[in-house]
């Protein structure tokens, strides 16, 4: 049986160009995207220079988790690359710039 229940997804439209070609990036995916490259770079640096650079990796992951918590889910338009946030209501009123 291959009759999967299709969830009635709301079609998203770009606020800028009204294109339905929107990509939704979930929190996990956003985090992976943001984390993989710096982790690889840190690992390469650690191999080349000193293993102490491996200590940056947990920090990077933690930092990207914090960023992902704020920004994800992220919605990107394929047509005009306009970014919009999935849940603007979740924005905190006060920004803590660190
Ligand atoms: Zn657009």
Q: How far is the CA of 73 from the centre of ligand 1 (A)?
A: 17
**CA 19–ligand 1 middle distance (angstroms):** 5
Sequence length of the chain is 98
**Which residues share a beta bridge with 25?**
74
Q: Per-residue pLDDT tens for 1-48? A: 545 555 545 677 888 898 899 888 898 988 888 899 999 999 999 999
Q: Cα of 79 to ligand 1 centre, how many Å? A: 5
CA of 33 to the centre of ligand 1 (A): 21
The CA 13 to ligand 1 mean position distance, Å, reads: 8
Q: pLDDT (tens digit, 9 = 90+) per residue, 45-67?
A: 999 999 999 998 999 899 999 98
Cβ burial of 86 (10 Å; 0-12, 13-18, 19+) is: middle
Q: CA–CA separation, 58 vs 64, rounded Å?
A: 10
Q: Is the pLDDT of residue 97 over 70?
A: no
Q: Which residues of 11-33 are buried (b: 16+ CB within 10 A; e: fewer)?
A: ebebeeeeeeebeebebeebbee
**Dist. CA 35 → ligand 1 center (Å):** 26
Strands (E), 1-98: 22-25, 74-77, 83-85
């Amino acid at each position: 049986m291959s009759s999967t229940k299709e969830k009635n997804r709301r079609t998203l439209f770009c606020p800028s160009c009204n294109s339905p070609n929107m990509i939704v990036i979930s929190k996990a995916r956003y985090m992976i995207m943001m984390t993989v490259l710096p982790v690889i770079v840190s690992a390469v640096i650690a191999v080349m220079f000193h293993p102490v650079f491996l200590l940056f990796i947990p920090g990077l992951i933690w930092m990207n988790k914090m960023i992902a918590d704020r920004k994800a889910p992220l919605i990107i338009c394929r047509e005009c690359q306009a970014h919009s946030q999935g849940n603007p209501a979740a924005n905190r009123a006060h920004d803590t710039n660190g």
